[in-house]
Amino acid sequence: MQFDNEIARAVRHQAAIDRETSKTKEEINDVVLVIKTAARDAQYDFSISEPIVLNQNGKKRFVKQFKDFYSAESVLCQCIKQILDRAFKVKYPNRNKSVRMLFGVLTAIKQMSDFTIVKFDFKDYFNSVSAVYVFEKFIKDKLSDRFEINLINEFAKKTKYAYAGFCTSNVIAEIIAKYFDEAVRRAFIDKGILFFERYIDDAVIIFNEYVEDIECRDILQKALESVFKDKTLDVQLKCKTRFNNSKFSYISRRNMGISTVSFDYLGYKFWLSAQDKKTDIKYGITQSKQDKYNKRVDELISYYTNSNHQDYNNLELLRHRIAAFTSRTVYRSRRFYSDVWKARGFITNYGELRYLLGTSHIDSGTEDFLRNMINEAFNRASIAVPYFLIGAHPKSGYNLFENMKVNKTLLLVEHIGYDYPSFARLCAQVNISNTDKNGRKRGYGTLVREYLIKTRVGY
C-alpha cells in the first residue's frame, strides 16, 4: 500500500512537469494502474535508458534518460528518488543561500590579519558516482522495506552510475556528498574553519588561520578516498570520483604580497589584494558566465535576423525577449496540489551584486558588461540598434546594470503583479491570445506558461 502511494505521487509528478501533453485525472489514474501492475510483476528493465550527448555553451555533456515519460522505468525512477529523499531527509544545496553566506564571510575577512581560502570541485561529478557503490555503502542498511531494497538494488545494478539525466542522480550524488562534507569538517576541525559550503560539485573552504597548500590538498584527498573509494567495500563497480585539479584555487593572506589573487564560485569571481593591514575585495562575474549570457542574447537576435526562422523580423517579440532577459521574472506554478513560487533570470542568479553596483567594490570589467552587453550584442550581429534602444535612457528598462540596481521584476502573479486584463494585453503584443480555438477564456497560469516559453525565459 505504501509503495502504491509512491507510484501515484510519482505519476502526478511526471504529469506536473510534462511540457508536451496535459493529462486528465482519469488518464493519470490509468497510468498509475499500469505502473502498479508493472511493479508487482517486475515488468520493467532499467537498462533500456538512452545515452544522449548535449552541447551546452560549447561543452559536451553526457546524460542518460528513459525515453517514455510515463514508462514503468521512468515512473519507478521517480519513486526511488522519493524514497531516498524521505529516508535520508535530503536537503539539496541552495545556490543563493550559499552565495549570500560567502559574501557575508568575505566581508568579515577583510579585517583579518590571516586567513586561507580553498576552492575546489569534482570532475564530471554525477557520471563518476557509482550507484552500486552508494547503494552498498550507504543506502542498503538505511531501508527496511524489502521490496524497496530490491527495487533500488536492481536500479543501481542496471544504471551503474548516477548519470546526469536520471531524476535519481541528484539524490544519489547528494547522499554520498553529505558524508564527504562530514569527513571534511572533521578533518579540518582544528584548523580554524570559518566557512565550508558545497553546491553539488563546487565547494569553498575559508579558515581564520594559515593552512599550507599541500596540507589542504592532502586532507581533502584523504577525505575523498575515505568516502568515495572505500577499499574494504567489496563491490565491482567503484566510484571514479576525483578532484578537478585545473580548477583548484588556494589563497593565503600571508602569501598574497602585492599581487592580486582571485577565485570563483558559482559564476561569481572575487579579486583579493592586500592593502596595509586590510584586504580589498572586488566582486564580479566570471568571464565564462559573461560569454554564456552573451551567447544567449546573440541567439535571441539571431532568431530575428534569420530569414528561415519563424521569428524572423519580429521586432516586437525581440523587444519582449530582451526586456524579460534584463529583468527578474517571478511567477507561480502548480506542483501537485499547491502553488510554488519561482524566480528566474540573470538578475536572480547574480542578485548579490546589486548591492555593490556603483561602488568601488564592483569589478570594472563586470560593470562594463552589465552596462553595455545588450548594445554590443547588436554590434556583433552587424545590425542597427532597434528603436527601443536608440537614445534610450539607461533606466528605460533594457539595461542590465540599471535593472539589477533596482531589482526590476516582471511579476506575473495575478492580484499582486499584472492583473488579468493587463497581462492579456501584454500577451497580445507577441500574438498570444487569451482565448482558445473555441473562444473560451484561457487561464492566467496558462498565459504565463506560454509567455515565458515564447520569450525564452523558460517555465
Helical (H) or strand (E) element with 251: strand 249-252
pLDDT bucket at 115, cuts 50 / 70 / 90: very high
Q: Please list the residue range(s) of the chain that carry CATH number 3.30.70.
A: 95-285
Q: What pLDDT does residue 57 have?
A: 60
Query: pLDDT tens for residues 15-32?
Result: 878 777 778 889 999 999
Cite the DSSP H helix spans in 144-254.
146-159, 169-187, 213-228
Q: Are 91 and 120 in contact (CB under 8 A)?
A: no
Q: Which residues of 357-393 are buried (b: 16+ CB within 10 A; e: fewer)?
A: beeeebbeebbebbbebbeebbeeeeeeebeebeebe
Q: What pLDDT does residue 101 have?
A: 95
Q: What pLDDT does residue 142 have?
A: 94
Nearest to 128 by CA among 242, 247, 235, 246: 242
CA distances from 68 to 19, 24, 50, 74 (A): 13, 18, 10, 7
Q: What pLDDT does residue 396 have?
A: 63
CA distances from 95 to 100, 212, 265, 352, 407 (A): 9, 28, 10, 12, 18
Query: pLDDT tens for residues 422-439?
Result: 999 999 999 999 998 889
pLDDT bucket at 2, cuts 50 / 70 / 90: confident
Q: What is the mean pLDDT of the chain?
A: 92
Nearest to 261 by CA among 119, 49, 111: 119
Q: Are 14 and 69 in contact (CB under 8 A)?
A: yes
Q: Across-strand partners of 269?
A: 264, 284
Q: Are 262 and 154 in contact (CB under 8 A)?
A: no
Per the structure block, which three cell numbers stand in for 159? 544504471
Of 37-51, 116-130, 228-242, 379-393, give the lowest mean pLDDT range: 379-393
Does residue 381 have a pLDDT over 90?
yes
Query: pLDDT tens for residues 42-98?
Result: 999 999 998 888 776 667 778 899 988 899 999 999 999 999 999 999 999 899 999
- DSSP structure class, residue 397: S
Q: What pLDDT does residue 401 have?
A: 94
Percent of the chain, pLDDT > 90?
81
Q: What pLDDT does residue 258 have?
A: 80
Query: pLDDT tens for residues 161-180?
Result: 999 999 999 999 999 999 99
Tell me how crowded residue 277 is: count the other CB atoms within 10 A of its CB. 8
Q: What pLDDT does residue 395 have?
A: 57
- The residue ranges of DSSP E strands in 257-414, in sequence order, are 261-265, 268-275, 278-285, 328-335, 338-344, 409-412
Q: Distance between CA 256 and CA 219 in Å, rounded?
A: 22
Q: Are 336 and 12 in contact (CB under 8 A)?
A: yes
Query: pLDDT tens for residues 307-324?
Result: 999 999 999 999 999 999
| Phi, psi angle pair for 388, to nearest 5° | -75, -5
Q: Are 303 and 315 in contact (CB under 8 A)?
A: no
Q: Locate cell 521574472: which residue?
A: 329
**Nearest-10 Cα torsion for 218, 222, 228, 229:** 110
Sheet of strand 202-207: strand arrangement: 193-199, 202-207, 116-121, 249-252
pLDDT bucket at 109, cuts 50 / 70 / 90: very high
User: DSSP string spanning 135-146?
Assistant: IIIIIGGG---H
pLDDT bucket at 225, cuts 50 / 70 / 90: very high
β-strands 328-335, 409-412 pairing: parallel
Per the structure block, which three cell numbers stand in for 181? 562534507
CATH class of 95-285: alpha beta
Q: Locate cell 528513459: which residue?
A: 66
Query: pLDDT tens for residues 246-292?
Result: 999 999 999 888 889 999 999 999 999 988 888 999 999 999 999 99
Does residue 403 have a pLDDT over 60?
yes
Per the structure block, which three cell numbers stand in for 89? 531527509
Half-sphere exposure (Cβ direction) of 146: Cα atoms closer than 13 Å: 0
Percent of the chain, pLDDT > 70?
96
- DSSP structure class, residue 67: S
Q: Distance between CA 444 and CA 395 in Å, rounded?
A: 29
Q: Distance between CA 421 and CA 414 in Å, rounded?
A: 10
Q: How far is CA 171 from the centre of its chain?
A: 14
- N- to C-terminal Cα separation, the chain: 34
Does residue 336 have a pLDDT over 60?
no
Per the structure block, which three cell numbers stand in for 371? 552596462
Q: Across-strand partners of 251?
A: 117
Q: Across-strand partners of 344?
A: 329
Q: What pLDDT does residue 335 have?
A: 62
Of 27-36, 181-190, 356-365, 386-395, give the lowest mean pLDDT range: 386-395
Query: pLDDT tens for residues 125-151?
Result: 999 999 999 999 999 999 999 999 999
Nearest to 370 by CA among 295, 290, 296: 290
Q: What pLDDT does residue 205 have?
A: 98
Q: Distance between CA 249 and CA 258 in Å, rounded?
A: 18
